[in-house]
Structure 1
């Protein structure tokens, strides 16, 4: 089926990133299969993570169908684009429909993108992973592809203004080797293995990141354990509880 929306959107995004002069460093795209279904799993620190996750699959000539909250599909601008790109709406009150939709996509040979943290991590560290990605891969008989992004929070993240000017911001992407989702294993055990691998890739992306905060006013995007002023996971949980 012709991709009348997805490919033009990809072209527009590439043009935009060139205008912003983003420095994109992507390694590991060869780990994304050239054919067949797979579940692409990433950390989540920005509203734009899915765009960069998708870019990582392009060298393999693959398009990723992302699972995203249903409200995005109702927006007057993003809605038609999300539907045209065949992404998968998730209504958290009726998650069974989204799960079935994703399973059908995987069985038809598509790559489905999942953020197992479910929401953006405001501490910029990994939150706990939900088991849905592992269960999808098990039931569809496809591999899990772990990946991590870093730097995207400096463009647009929760609680901070967007930075869509020519900013020269580096974006680091690391894609890991496939993880087999054996049906003989407990989904929770696969999920723990998956999270550990994404953590390793995130740390590798952070080590490779070419810049550090420029001063006291530029430390918000660094997690506290790396010397930044982002809230700790405990502080985020306390704020959410109130």
Structure 2
């Protein structure tokens, strides 16, 4: 079936990014498979993360179907768009339906995007990963694609006003090699391997990020362990 909505939405997003003069540094897109199913797994620091994760699949001419909370699908504007782009609603009270939907998409050759922390990390460090992504990959017989992004929290994140002016904000993304989801391994073990790799990619993003704060007031987006004033993981409220 023709994709009537997804490509125009991507075009609109690119136009917005050009208007904002975002500075992209994206590496590893060659790891996105051109055919077949895969579970894309990323850290989660901002509300627009799914857009930037999706951009990494464009060189491979792929579209990512993201799992997102069900309330987004009830919104009068975003709901019709999310459904038309074949994203997957997640009702946490009935998670088995979203799991089955994602599994069907994977088996039909789609890339499914998952944020295994389940919510934005207010500390901007990795939270614990839920094992659903690993279990889906094992059951569908597809690889996991580890990814990390950095800088997106400066645009729009939990507890902060949106910053969608022409501020030339850098966005750094790293995609790792696919990780095999061996069905003989426990889902928790696979999840640990994926989280370790995402952590490595996140640290690579942070090391290469070209901006350093000019004042103490501009350290809110930097984790405490890196000298910033973001809440420490133990005190950050989910």
Q: Check whether TM > 0.5.
A: yes
The equivalences for 1:15-30 within 5 A come to 15-30=15-30
In the alignment, the residues of structure 1 paired with residue 74 and residue 215 of structure 2 have an alpha-carbon distance, to the nearest angstrom, of 40
**Residues of 2 paired with 1:164 and 1:74: CA distance?**
24
State the partner residue of 1:128.
128
2:116 match: 116
For the residues of structure 1 that align with 2:2 and 2:25, how far apart are their CA atoms? 29
- Mapped pair 1:213 → 2:213: yes
The 2-side partners of 1:19 and 1:192 are apart by 39
- Count of residue correspondences: 238
Partner of 2:44: 44
Match of 1:159 in 2: 159
Within 2, Cα distance between the matches of 1:87 and 1:119?
17
Distance 2:164 2:96 in 1: 36
Pairwise CA RMSD? 0.6
For structure 2, the 5+ residue unaligned runs are none
CA distance in structure 2 between the partners assigned to 1:213 and 1:112 by the alignment: 35
Match of 1:32 in 2: 32
- Structure 2 matches for 1:147-226, cutoff 5 A? 147-226=147-226
1:106 shift after superposition = 0.2
CA deviations on 1:66-123 (whole Å, 9 max, x unpaired) are 0000000001111111011100000000000000000000000000000000000000
Per the normalisation by structure 2, the TM-score is 0.99
TM-score w.r.t. the length of structure 1 is: 0.98
Q: Once superposed, which parts of structure 1, at least 4 consecutive aligned residues long, lie more than 3 Å away?
A: none
